[in-house]
Amino acid sequence: MSIGSASRSKRPQVSPQMNVTPLVDIVLVLLIIFMVITPLLSKQMWLQLPKQDDKADVPPSDNKSVVLTVAATGALSINGAEVPKQELRDRLERIMAARSDKVLYFDAADGAPYASTVEAMDIAKQGGVKTLAVLTTKVAQ
């Protein structure tokens, strides 16, 4: 019996080791991917657009409501009268100074550029608008 135990002790001892080189390669590739993708995620603006079948209150049809419209080309108009972007703030300040409710109804065409619509909303807020109501259905003119 001592012969059998002697033969086992003469074998070289092999310690199991894991090769970590492929693991390090994968981690570095993932790090590079995340470093490239992370700046792109912060530049996005997520919007939840209203659906066509959502029911929204249409403003009263009297002349008291003020509707700012952004056309598909990016052109701006107040109650149907076209307004250059440079004059929009001044014109809204004059209109809102004469009003007590300071409500502006905002309507954008389906193909209107997002940059133009957001810029028009910002200018409206700077022009003294307190409540900006976004219309989801077209206003009868």
Q: Range of 128's domain?
A: 67-134
Q: Is residue 32 part of a domain?
A: no
Alpha-carbon dihedral 75, 78, 79, 80, rounded to 10 degrees: -30
Q: Is residue 100 part of a domain?
A: yes
Q: Is residue 8 part of a domain?
A: no
Task: State the CATH number of the domain containing residue 105.
Answer: 3.30.420.270
Residues in the chain with pLDDT < 50?
Answer: 58-62
pLDDT in tens, 70-84: 999 989 999 888 999
Residue ranges with strand state E in 39-135: 67-70, 76-78, 81-83, 103-108, 131-134
**Chain center to CA of 44:** 6
Give me the pLDDT at residue 55, please: 56
Looking at the structure of the chain, the number of domains it has is 1
Q: Is residue 117 part of a domain?
A: yes
Q: What is the pTM of this model?
A: 0.53
Give me the pLDDT at residue 70, please: 92
pLDDT in tens, 8-18: 567 777 778 88
